[in-house]
Structure 1
Amino acid sequence: MRVRQILADIMGTETAGLPERLCRACAVAIPVSGVGLALVTATGHGGTITATDGPAAVMEDLQATLGEGPCVDASHDGHPVLQSDLAATGAARWPGFTAAALQAGIAAVFAFPLQVGAIRLGTLDLYRDATGPLDRPQLAEALAFAEAATTILLHLQDGVPSGQPLHPELAEAVESRREVHQATGMITVQAGVGLAEAMLLLQAYAYSSERSLLDVAKDVVARQLRFPPEDDHHE
């Protein structure tokens, strides 16, 4: 069974970093530009657990901030969302997300819900910088990786001590989501831009300064970093 093979290849004896290893393996097995793994909570997008590259990470955080996008719909509806040409059909469905995705060089998105029965756990999201659908073998591979991702999330949470709500890797995603959301809202006011543009400004600063998105977001929330309008967006 393909799912067992995927798990055997990435799990080994070390449980730390399993989500990251799964996303890297998925990006190698399927011809995509990036892969992201997002957590879903009772209130919606719970935060980015991991992503393989900058654009994928931006797209994950952007969908959480805007509350729209393929991964949001996949989680809500419980079905894969296969968007093979964002420029052609994405704007009518997700106007804010699509504009920012195209600006970031994302042309196609394939989102797969991770769930057990009615319980939603997260989404596995594949990003391409070129249009075109997944063919049948690629789709089967993506579904296998989604099932493996579900198993990994359950495995991580199963090992959490009593009284601790989430595994540290999952708790970090929730913390990151909260801080990034707050920072993005502050930047919209400071720079006089929309949420999508604010997220791109935040990510661009993190990339150029070689810092994590969460660290930069914390600086914004602490008012140690501002993004004034028509400025170079440095302190």
Structure 2
Amino acid sequence: MSRAATSAVDVRSLVAAEETLDGDPEGMAGQMSRLCRAALEALGVSGVGVVVTSDEGPTTSVASTDVVTRQVAELQFTLGEGPTWDAHLTRRPSLAPDLRDGTARRWPALVPAVRGLGVGALFAFPLQVGQARVGCLDLCSNRPGTLSRVGTALALDFADLATVWLLDGQQRASRGVAPDGFDGALHHRARLHQAQGMVMVQLDVDLGEAMSRIRAHAYATEHSLDAVAGDIVTRRLRLAEDVR
């Protein structure tokens, strides 16, 4: 089956058929949660998530189907490597159907960590239109294996729909109004950027090095990137000059 046989209308119908669960956020964030659940059922993977990106790379998760998928996203934020990063930077899907093979050379810190979570394969599809890059659709599988042609086509269609919603959300956010349910994600991004700027000034380094220092501290202390950024912004933490 070609991608033409799986239209955006079909994907929208799959998402529309998903029931709203207790705990689902309001507005667009709730739509993203239902999109992830619809993709999970349609693609037969173990987990689905949507992350938003900035020019620097992935920044935060806005929806996911399970704890492990959120943990994989957080590990990629912290370590600065993985399929989500590659998909964002290359503007092409990044597919790792078997984490037991040479992918460890591509992502030496990430692969052992996610395999420890029971993940056997990872796939990331960029959310983009033209030059606009807004996020990635992430898929996790607890068993190694490739996506079928039909599965790949469906994943691309889900990615297209997520792109439309995120672009709409960013347009509203640019007018000073956060999309419904996205307040936490936007706050996470703003706090991380604020912490990056503070470290840059404190250590007299550039923005890229400041982020590297924050990531290094998060990895060494086994804290999330968001937690470390929060400690920096509230001045509970000041990174030492020799932190790498």
User: What is the TM-score of this pair, normalised by structure 2?
Assistant: 0.71
3-state SS, counterpart of residue 88 of structure 1: coil
1:6 paired with 2:6, answer no
* Structure 2: gaps (5+ residues): 1-5, 18-25, 196-212, 237-244
2:185 to 159, 173, 179: 173
Q: Which moved more, 1:163-172 or 1:24-33?
A: 163-172
Distance 1:103 1:223, change over 3 A: farther
Residue 71 of structure 1 aligns with an amino acid whose one-letter code is T
**Cα distance change of structure 1 residues 161 and 107 upon mapping to structure 2, 3 Å threshold:** closer
Contact persistence 1:48–1:177 (CA under 8 A): no
Alignment match of 1:58 (pick from 61, 65, 71)? 71
Counterpart amino acid of 1:6?
A: V
Q: Evaluate the alpha carbon distance shift between residue 161 and residue 131 of structure 1 in structure 2; reply closer, same or farther with a 3 A threshold.
A: closer
- Aligned residue in 2 for 1:38: 51
Query: Percent identity of the aligned residues?
Result: 34
Q: CA deviation at 1:123?
A: 0.3
1:61 and 1:177 in contact (8 A); partners too: no
**Contact 1:39/1:123 (8 A) holds in 2:** yes
Shift of 1:50: 1.2
Q: Is the aligned partner of 1:21 residue 2:34?
A: yes
User: Which residue does 1:141 correspond to in 2?
Assistant: 154
Instruction: Look up the equivalent residue of 1:4 and give its one-letter code.
Output: V
Cα separation, partners in 2 of 1:119 and 1:3, compared to 1, 3 Å: same
For 1:165 and 1:67, the matched residues in 2 are separated by: 29
* Contact 1:39/1:170 (8 A) holds in 2: no
Change in CA separation of 1:165 and 1:2 when aligned onto 2, cut-off 3 Å: same
Task: State how far apart, in whole Å, the 2-side matches of 1:29 and 1:154 are.
Answer: 24
Corresponding letter in the other structure for 2:101: A
CA shift for structure 1 position 119: 1.1
- Determine which of 113, 133, 141 is the counterpart of 1:100: 113
Aligned residue type for 1:26:
A
- From 85, 98, 103, give the equivalent of 1:72: 85
Measured in 1, the distance between the counterparts of 2:90 and 2:153 equals 20
1:88 to 1:187, Cα distance in 2 relative to 1, 3 A: closer
Structure 1: gaps spanning 5 or more residues: 204-212, 225-235
Residues of 2 paired with 1:176 and 1:161: CA distance? 14
Deviation at 1:133, TM superposition (A): 0.4
2:20 counterpart residue number = none
Shift of the 69–75 alpha-carbon distance from structure 1 to 2, 3 Å rule, reads: same
Quote the offset at 1:34 in angstroms: 0.3
Return the offset for 1:161. Answer: 6.7
Letter matched to residue 175 of structure 1: H
Alignment root-mean-square deviation, CA: 3.2
- The whole-number CA distance in structure 2 between the counterparts of 1:218 and 1:23 is 27
| Superposition TM-score, scaled by structure 1 size | 0.74
CA contact (8 A) 2:214 2:229 kept: no
